[in-house]
Every structure is written in structure tokens, then in C-alpha cells.
A and B are shown apart, each in its own frame.
Chain A
Amino acid sequence: MSVDTTTVLTERLARRGVRIFSAAVLIFLVAPVLIVIPLSFNQSTYFSYPMTGATLGWYETIFSSAEWRAAIVNSFVIGLSATAIATVLGTLAAIGISRPSFPFRGLIVPILIAPMIIPIVIVAVSLYLVFAPLQLINTHLGVVLAHAALGTPFVVITVTARLMAFDNNLSRAAAGLGASPWTSFRRVMLPQILPGVATGSIFAFATSFDEVVVILFIGGTEQRTIPRQMWAGIRDQINPTILAMAGLLTIFAIVLFLAIGWLQGRNSAPSR
């Protein structure tokens, strides 16, 4: 009996320990952003509390600065173009590799995942080496191609995961009823995998939207994106404008996160 009570006690203690520890870790995860964003409303340029007064001035600076505006536009243009390429190519490949008949899977899957795993600096330096003679350095096209390559693994992984739940008999049934492969894809398979495709494309977009290293090496002054502009800002003379941009990006991150959550709700809906 006494053994039992001590076991129960230690178990309860362990549980409480895990709760306190986890709470500390979770606070560590969110604290930096929660502490820093308010400083973007600080009137003074010091990065410490207590704040001297609240202002929207730093946010105003961003929207009135031609450089920041160009960076924001560039980020979206490059991100959306790269996402379009990554989504189309990645989805096709995912449909291919999830077929049981797919050959050389063990060799090809690692190649498709590689852009996620190979250190980004190596990718950036290699692209410089190859793009320079082709005059793709300092061009939108070069950056879009590079970002599309970096985004494809995310599309491949999410669509493949989604396809695991797809019943191939449905495609067969459609074919048996006389649907062409294209019709069968568009009317039967695509609606089912669409949440996976959308999740993958959001990942691909976020990858491009947040990418600094490749753009440092192959994007010139014309291709300044938000991360590129922030990097320069931190390196030169950090000021609260950077924090204001950080605030905007955090809001954007929450929007993307909510989009993924919504898509995952749709993801699990049909199967359960």
C-alpha cells in the first residue's frame, strides 16, 4: 500500500515537473517576439524598457520609404512566381512517386528532398558559379528559379502525405466510366489532394519570403527583398524600423499559420 502511494506521489510530482518545465520552454519560444514587437512602437531608438512613449512612426517610415516598398513588392513578386513553379512541378512529381509502380524510388526521392537538406550557403555559392556566366545574377528570373528549387521539397512532401490517404480505386473507377486521365485528375484526384497542394505551396511561399542567403549572393540591388533589406539593416545600424518590419512579418506569419490550420481542418475532414 505504501509503495503504491509513493509511486502515485512521484508520478504526480513528475507530471507537475513536466508542466512547469514545458511552460518555461513555451515561454522561451514566444517571449522574444512578444517582448520585441512592443519596442517597435517605442518613441526612442533605445531597445529597452520602460518605453518612453508610443508611436506608429517606425511603421510610417516603412511605408513612406521607397526602398522598403520596393522590397515588399519584390518579396511578393518573387515569392508568388517561385511558388507557382514549385507547386506545379512538385505536385506532378508527388503524384508520380506515390504510384506503386514508380521506379528507382530510393534514388529519386532523396534528390527531390535534397534542396531542403543541403546547406543553403552551398546552394547559393553554386548558383552564383553557374548563373554568373548566364547573366542570371542580379535578375528576378535567377532568384525566382533558385527559390522555386528550394520550395519544391515542401510541395512534394505535403502532397505525397496527402496522397497516402487517396484511394487509387477512385481514379480507376473514373477511368472505367470513361474519363480521360486529365478529367479524372481534375475532377477526382485534385479536389482530394487540394488541401495538401495548398499547404505545400504556403510552405514554398514562406521559404521564398524568408530566404536571405541565396538573395545575398545572386540578387543584386534590384532584387532587394524584405529579408535582404532587414539583413542589411541589422548589419549596418539597427534601428526600430527593422522591429516594425519584424512586427509586420509576425502578423503575416500568423495569417499563414491560420491558413495552414484551416487547410489541415479540411485535410482531416474527408477521411475521419
Chain B
Amino acid sequence: MSAMELTSPGRARSRTVDPRAGYRAARRREALRAFLLAVPLLVFLSATFIYPIGKLLLMSVQSEEVVNAVPGTAALLAGWPGPPELPSPQTFETLAADLQKAQQEGSLAAAARRLNNYEPGFRTLLLKTVRQLPSTSGRPYSEELPKIDKRWGEAETWRLLKRAATRYTPDFLLTAMDRKVGPSQTIVPVEPSQAIYVDAFIRTFSISASVTLICLILGYPVAWLLANLPARQSNLLMIFVIVPFWTSLLVRTTAWYVLLQPNGVVNSLLVGSGLTSGPIALMFNRTGVLIGMTHVLLPFMILANYAVMRGIPPVYQRAAVSLGAHPALAFLRVYVPQTMPGIGTGTFLVFVLALGYYITPALLGGAGDEMISQIVALQMDRQLNWGLAGALSVYLVIFTLAVYVVFNKLVGVDRLRLG
């Protein structure tokens, strides 16, 4: 009673002023209270997920190493119009001083590595130059540097240095699409021998699309059968789908690794039954990747379609048949459209999960089956090329989000269920 008395004057006052304002305020409070419940998770994900990914994606346009190592040269080069002329002699002097200072401060290694991402051999050029600088005879560096390495006499070398010595750069985003900025400030394709990333994206897409299609073809009839069998039989067969679903991804990939070996179980069956004369290559190639990925992702497709099919009343299809439609036609025109949410959810899940696959292609694939995830890992792990790892990630994230947006438009994310 006392609580009522405490709160009611406030409420009464707002009601007398404007009942709608009071209602709106109450709604705002309710919205705020609902939002506050999600805040802890949002804060947690911001720190452990959104911020890190944002930072990685930003790496794709950042390039601080070179500016930080040779700040004076960078400033001078900013005013240099570019080829065909060489930069001013003053620039040569500044570079020599910058390089020696960077060597002492220890910032040269990072800059050299980054420059090497632009032009293989740049790293050796810098290290060689800085090694020979003290032994020069004291003439102007515009003469000495080209003597140490003739590349310093070429405007193209300086153009690359100028490009690398800016804080923000489109270069990694271009490299990830096999493009670069050419001598006349135009975007040109890179040499065919270095053009590997577009192919890798296409390969990632085609592997994901193939796996999705195979899963749909294999999974749709199974889902239909499971949804239309009597409950007891259906529950029993469901075990065949759910136990693999729960089995560790690594266990399943290991199993295929063992089964698909040249002298493994599958090959001995093939040879034993006389289907093939000798063992065939089933892994370290595309076949292995497709088998492994299909096996891992198929349960998602079956479960998504099953969930929708179980809710479809059979009367519509029966009605169509009783009105004279051929059963096949009734199935295609009446049943299949009703299963679209299931097809959509299954296709989305399988395709998106396949896009980011790493483990299965790494273990079962060959040299020609690298997916984008593996290249991102390689750039970060071995090449220490964070810019390129970031740029490849940018495209992969954009593709993934695009698929998500299409899915959300067509099916709706609310349909995503588990278990």
C-alpha cells in the first residue's frame, strides 16, 4: 500500500499533464529495461569480437611501418610529383639519414617487410643499402645510392616507396583483388604469376556452392522421408543424422583422412570389388575436400528442412492430386514451395559455414584447393602481412554479410533454430 502511495502521485501528475506523454515515457522505460538486459553481452562481444574484427579489417587500409621508419623521406616524397623525374637530391640525403636512424631504432625490419609486400626484393635492397651506407666516400647520396644499388636510380623504386610511405593505402584491398596502382596512377592487373587471390575467391565460392548443392540434393529427400515417416521410425532414423551432427568435426575429418588414404578402407573396397584396377586419389585433392565438407555440413541441411517439412500439412498436396494433378507436379508446385523456408535456412547455413572453412580443406585438400581462410591464416602466420590478411578478410566478411542479408530478406533470421 505504501509503495502505491509513493509512486502514484508521480504517475497521476504526468497523467494530468498529457496522458500520451506518460505512455511514451513508460514505453521508453520498458525499452530501456529490455535493452539493459542485452548490454552485458553487447559489451562482452564488443571487446572480444567486434573490436578485434574491426581492428583487423582496418589493417587492410593502414600502413604505418614505412612512415614511422622514414618520416623525413615520406614528407619530402609527398611533394614529389612522381616519375619520370627522380626526387630531389635532398630526398636522397634524407633517406640515407632516415635509414640509418631507423636501423638504430629497430624500426627498419618492419618497414622492410612491408615494402617487400609491395615489391619482392625491396627488403634486400633496404638492408643492403643500410649496410653499405657508412662506407660511402662522402659524395652526395644522389650519386652514392644508385651506386650501392642501381634501383635507386630508377624513378619506379621511389614511386613504390612513396606509395608505401602513406598512412592509409588502398594497396592491400587492390592486391586482394589481383590489382595494383600502375606507373601512371591507374589501376592495372598484377602480373599473371602473382594473380592468385581472385582465383582463390572463385575457388572458395565454387567449393562452397558445390557443397551446398550436393547437401541439398542429398539432404532434401532424407528430410522429406524423416518428416513423413511414422514418429517411431522417424525418431530412430533421426539418430543417423544427429549423432554425426554431434560428433566432433575433427573426429569426422580424421575418419575421412583414414578412410580415403591410398591404402585405406574405401580404396581397398573399390579395388576389391573390381570397380577400379588400382587405388585412386581420393584425398589431398578436390574430391577429398568435397566429401569431407559435405559430410560435416549435411546434417545442417537435413535438420533445417526437416523442421519445416514436419509442419506442412499433407492435405494441400492430396487436394492437388485429387483435383487431377500428377503427383510429381503436385509435389513440385504445391509441396516444394511450402518448404522454401527450410531450403533457404539449410542453404544459408551450409553456404556460409562452407565459406569460412579451414580445418577440412587444410587436412583433406591438396595444394590446389586452398580456400580463402587458409590464405588469410598463411598471410598472418607466415608472411606477417597483416594488411593483406585484413584485406582478404574484408572481402570474405562482405560476402558473408551479403549472403546473410539475402537470407534475412528471403527467409528471416528468426527462423534460425537449433537442436
Contacts and interface: CB of A to CB of B under 8 A. Distances in A.
A272 B292 CA distance: 39
Contacts of A158: 418-419
Q: How large is the interface on A (under 10, 10 to 19, 20 to 34, 35 or more residues)?
A: 35 or more
Contacts of A120: 356, 358, 373
Interface of A: 7, 10-11, 14, 18-19, 21-22, 25-30, 32-33, 35-36, 39, 46-49, 85, 88-90, 92-93, 95-97, 99, 101-104, 108-115, 117-131, 145-146, 148-149, 152, 154, 156-158, 161, 199, 203, 206, 209-210, 212-213, 217, 227, 230-231, 234-235, 238, 242-243, 246, 249-250, 253-254, 256-257, 260, 264
A256 B42 contact: no
B268 A48 contact: yes
A206 B48 CA distance: 19
B48 A145 contact: yes
B148 interface: no
A21 B225 CA distance: 10
Contacts of B253: 234
Contact of B258 (A93, A210, A238): A238
Contact of B380 (A128, A161, A253): A128
Contacts of A118: 53, 356, 397, 400
A199 B373 contact: no
A103 B356 contact: no
Interface stretch (B70-78, B81-89, B169-177, B238-246): B238-246
Interface stretch (B29-37, B98-106, B192-200): B29-37
Contact of A146 (B42, B48, B295): B48
B400 A117 contact: yes
Contact of B35 (A103, A209, A243): A103
A199 B419 CA distance: 8
Top-4 shortest CB links A-B: A119-B356, A96-B37, A126-B52, A32-B255
Contact of A125 (B49, B56, B254, B264): B56
Contacts of A154: 418
Given A35-B265, A126-B53, A152 B41 contact: yes
A161 B254 contact: no
Contacts of B251: 33, 230, 246, 249-250, 253
Given A29-B240, A111-B45, A210-B250, 20 more contacts: A25-B221, A30-B243, A48-B264, A101-B33, A102-B31, A110-B413, A113-B416, A119-B373, A120-B356, A122-B53, A125-B56, A125-B380, A126-B53, A148-B44, A234-B254, A246-B250, A246-B251, A253-B251, A257-B243, A260-B246
Given A25-B219, A120-B358, A260-B419, A33 B247 contact: yes
A29 B241 contact: yes
Contacts of A85: 44
Which of B241, B265, B298 has the largest count of A CB atoms less than 10 A from its CB?
Answer: B265
B328 interface: yes
A26 B233 CA distance: 14
Nearest to A26: B240
Interface in B328-377: 328, 352, 355-359, 363, 372-374, 376-377
Nearest to B49: A149
Contacts of A212: 249-250, 359
A156 B377 CA distance: 29
Contact of B41 (A25, A39, A92): A92
A30 B355 contact: no
A96 B397 contact: no
B16 to A, nearest CB: 25
Contacts of A249: 247-248, 250-251
Main secondary structure of the interface of A (DSSP, over half): helix
A95 B396 CA distance: 32
A112 B240 CA distance: 31
B37 A36 contact: no
Given A29-B244, A231-B250, A14 B327 contact: yes
Contacts of A36: 254-255, 258-259
26 contacts: A7-B321, A18-B224, A18-B225, A25-B218, A25-B222, A26-B222, A30-B243, A35-B255, A47-B264, A48-B264, A95-B37, A101-B31, A118-B53, A122-B53, A125-B389, A126-B56, A126-B393, A129-B59, A152-B45, A230-B250, A230-B251, A230-B254, A234-B250, A234-B253, A238-B257, A254-B243
Nearest to B386: A129
B284 interface: no
A121 B221 contact: no
B41 A93 contact: yes
B377 A121 contact: yes
Interface string B389-406: 100010011001000100
Given A25-B222, A119-B396, A102 B34 contact: yes
A33 B255 contact: yes
Contact of B56 (A92, A122, A250, A264): A122
A118 B374 CA distance: 15
Contact of A129 (B34, B52, B295): B52
B268 A49 contact: yes
B24 to A, nearest CB: 12
